Amino acid sequence: KLWLANSCVWYSQIITQKLAMQQYAKYTASFNYGNHDVSGDKNMNNGLTNCWLSSSLAISPEEQITFLNKLVANKLPVSLEAHERTKNIMFIDNLDNGWKLYGKTGNGSQLDANGNKVQDRQVGWFVGFIRKDNRFITFVQLIADKDKQDSYASLRAKAVLKDRLTQLISRI
């Protein structure tokens, strides 16, 4: 659980290597995850360990919501146990009024028109859902910095979204 909460890249890379490229690509396609491109950095042959790190695998906020909706509805092509284990490792915090927060941050560099990483401009995600009993609300917060910032975009995205969720659940 800690590897996901702490975005431990090296551990994620061990998991993808254990899956191997064929299985990893199969999951990405069967989940209809983003653009399905697991090739990695151009001419680097590192897709298995790097495609999701400001590289070839891209997903829009709308596609991310679609994916999360399938996860919370147990509609991905995996077992019910896999759905539940994934949701459980995404747990972050208990919120007010019986709601629970589940999510994942992601941080990286923006890409220029040629696909090169712009080192001083971050992109940060916070994606997930809140749950109360059998009710789920999915969310995506994306921050794309216009200039250099001193804090991680992903942590700023999480803080912004958590504030918005706190306001939302106080009204429902």
Cα 130 from chain centroid (whole Å): 15
pTM, full prediction: 0.91
pLDDT of 8 reads: 87
Residue 103 and residue 155 in contact, taking contact as beta carbons nearer than 8 Å: no
pLDDT in tens, 119-138: 889 999 999 999 999 999 99
DSSP class of residue 101?
E
Residue 128 and residue 139 in contact, taking contact as beta carbons nearer than 8 Å: yes
- Tens digits of pLDDT across the chain (172 residues): 677 877 888 889 999 999 999 999 999 999 999 999 999 988 899 999 999 988 999 999 999 999 999 999 999 999 999 999 999 999 999 999 999 999 999 999 988 888 788 888 999 999 999 999 999 999 999 999 999 999 999 999 999 999 999 988 988 7
